[in-house]
A = this chain, B = another copy of it.
Amino acid sequence: MLTKRQKQVLDFITEYSRKNGISPTIDEIRKHFRLNSVATIHQHLESLRSKGYLDRLKNKTRSLSLPKKRSVSDLISKSSRSGFALVPLLGSANAGPATFFAEENIEAYQKVPRTIVRKQSGIFAVRVDGDSMNKASIDGNNLEDGDLAIIDSEYKSPKSGDYVLAVRDGLANLKKFLRDQKTGDVILISESSNPKHKPIKVSSEDDFMINGRIIGVVKR
């Protein structure tokens, strides 16, 4: 299909674009190959275009682009049009340290009905791990092992009775949030069939923070 030189040029454009976020100018390509005329590169680009390996606009600088790969990005845009949102799944709650709010820790992008997720941003999902909340009810669903809890991370000042993702001493947990009327103390409840999960009273010295509210459940 492609000649050796054409492939070299295409590879260079691909690499350059990946590194810099924008495509090179013809002259930059010329320099890279230590040629003397931009006309040469221009010809290669024209060949690549006619063979379908490259898209470009007339007379526009840095307008080279690789033809779309049909598959994934197509599906993505379709899903967001059709009543679903894609929210990042950030591992398990009730499990590891709460350092997981980093991009590297996105396991997957979960399709969630728009009936649950109405906002555009600030939403993520965590996997429910264990039985500590299996009697909690969110929109009629309880939170069982393996389910996904959908979290609104922009809701950080919970009211008594809210279900939240709480981080205490670096550990993330799904809990019911209660505030003692008199003392103002925060109490975290496990709503579980398993009596070993006791309420936790948060003292002011604790390294404590609410990471968001549970706004829905996706059953496994």
Q: Size band of the A side of the interface?
A: 35 or more
The answer to the question of A216 belonging to the interface, with a C-beta cut-off of 8 Å to chain B, is no
Alpha-carbon distance between A120 and B71 when the two chains are bound, in angstroms: 8
The answer to the question of A207 belonging to the interface, with a C-beta cut-off of 8 Å to chain B, is no
Q: Which of A35-43, A76-84, A168-176 contacts B (4 or more CB under 8 A)?
A: A76-84
The answer to the question of A202 belonging to the interface, with a C-beta cut-off of 8 Å to chain B, is no
Alpha-carbon distance between A187 and B76 when the two chains are bound, in angstroms: 38
Closest to A148 in B: B108
Closest to A104 in B: B82
Known pairs A1-B60, A71-B121; list 5 more (Cβ under 8 Å): A7-B21, A7-B22, A72-B88, A79-B106, A89-B108
Give A residues with C-beta under 8 Å from B: 1-4, 7, 18, 21-23, 57, 60-65, 68-73, 75-81, 86-89, 103, 106-111, 120-121, 146
Show 26 residue pairs from A and B whose CB-CB distance is below 8 angstroms, ordered by the A residue: A1-B22, A1-B23, A1-B62, A1-B63, A3-B22, A4-B62, A7-B22, A69-B120, A69-B121, A70-B121, A71-B120, A72-B76, A72-B77, A72-B86, A72-B87, A72-B88, A73-B73, A73-B76, A75-B106, A89-B108, A106-B111, A107-B111, A108-B108, A108-B109, A108-B111, A146-B146
